[in-house]
Structure 1
Amino acid sequence: MKPISPIGVVRSARREPSLRDGWGEVLSRVELDAAALDETATRGLDAYSHIEVIFSFHQAVRTCRGDQHPRGNPDWPLTGILAQRAPNRPNHLGVTVCELVAVEGLALTVRGLDAVEGTPVLDVKPYLPEFAPRGEVRVPEWSVELMSRYF
């Protein structure tokens, strides 16, 4: 398997990982690395309203291999790490669909990216609704409560 290397970094006013919500209006800049990508890598990306950013939870301090209470809240059920989106995942990977505000060469301005200053970016993909779920989406009640203030 080819090793994964960052292709850029997040620039954000949010400096520390925390359980803070309200990511919806956070503006960030994804600065792509000219050593990793040709300057033409973003050509046509501005035609999309949203992108998926794949990044590393580089400040995660532990890895969960089993279950935990989401956000450490004992009011929510013990849930396997693969059934939640916590940063202490086996490979500390995050994926977020965010609004693409601007494309300036290898710099992307985005809204709603839940990554802190200095987060390594592993990949960027245009968001295509055809890849979104088809049909009804089912989620547990605790996740509805958790996400009610997240974005």
Structure 2
Amino acid sequence: MKLYQIGTAYRSKEEMMRIEIYPRYAKGLDGIERLKKIYVLYWMHRLNEEDRKTLRAHPRGNKASPLTGVFALRSPMRPNPIGLTCVELVKRENNNLFVKGLDALDGSPVIDIKSG
């Protein structure tokens, strides 16, 4: 199985992020400016190999909560650290998308975008 990084997410302003789509994938953005919401899939690149072995975690890191399987949580610790967020598309400038609500870290590899 191969995944291709189509772009990178960058912190733009406090609540806005800029997603730079690589030029070879820019044609895939045609018509996206008509959308208000999009799903962004990204790779949680700062997790280490040990975190990827975690199969149970406390919800939101709260030790008072019972251990729960990672597939029942939004925890970043999981075998395949793929993040998914539905975001507000603010604007498109060429191969850059400006979005609100993306919970990715600065520099996160973007692996896909889908209509919301």
* TM-score, reference length from structure 2: 0.90
| Segments of 4+ moved more than 2 angstroms | none
Distance 2:55 2:113 in 1: 29
String of CA shifts for 1:54-99, please: whole Å, max 9, x gaps: 0000001211442121232112121001100111111000000000
1:11 paired with 2:10, answer yes
Residue 56 of structure 1: aligned partner: 43
1:31 paired with 2:20, answer yes
Distance 1:46 1:13 in 2: 19
**What is the count of residue pairs matched by the alignment?**
114
Shift of residue 51, structure 1, vs aligned partner: 0.4
Distance 1:11 1:65 in 2: 27
Residue 104 of structure 2: aligned partner: 115
The answer for unaligned runs of 5 or more in structure 1 is 15-24, 128-151
Secondary structure of the 2:71 match is helix
* TM-score, reference length from structure 1: 0.70
Shift of residue 112, structure 1, vs aligned partner: 0.4
Distance 1:101 1:13 in 2: 12
Asked which structure has the greater CA Rg, the reply is 1
Distance 1:123 1:85 in 2: 18
| Aligned amino acid, residue 88 of structure 1 | M
Secondary structure of the 1:71 match is helix
Contact in 2 for aligned 1:66/1:81 (Cα 8 Å): yes
Aligned identity (percent) is 37
Distance 2:37 2:61 in 1: 31
The answer for unaligned runs of 5 or more in structure 2 is none
| Aligned amino acid, residue 12 of structure 1 | R
Distance 1:50 1:116 in 2: 19
Larger strand percent: 2
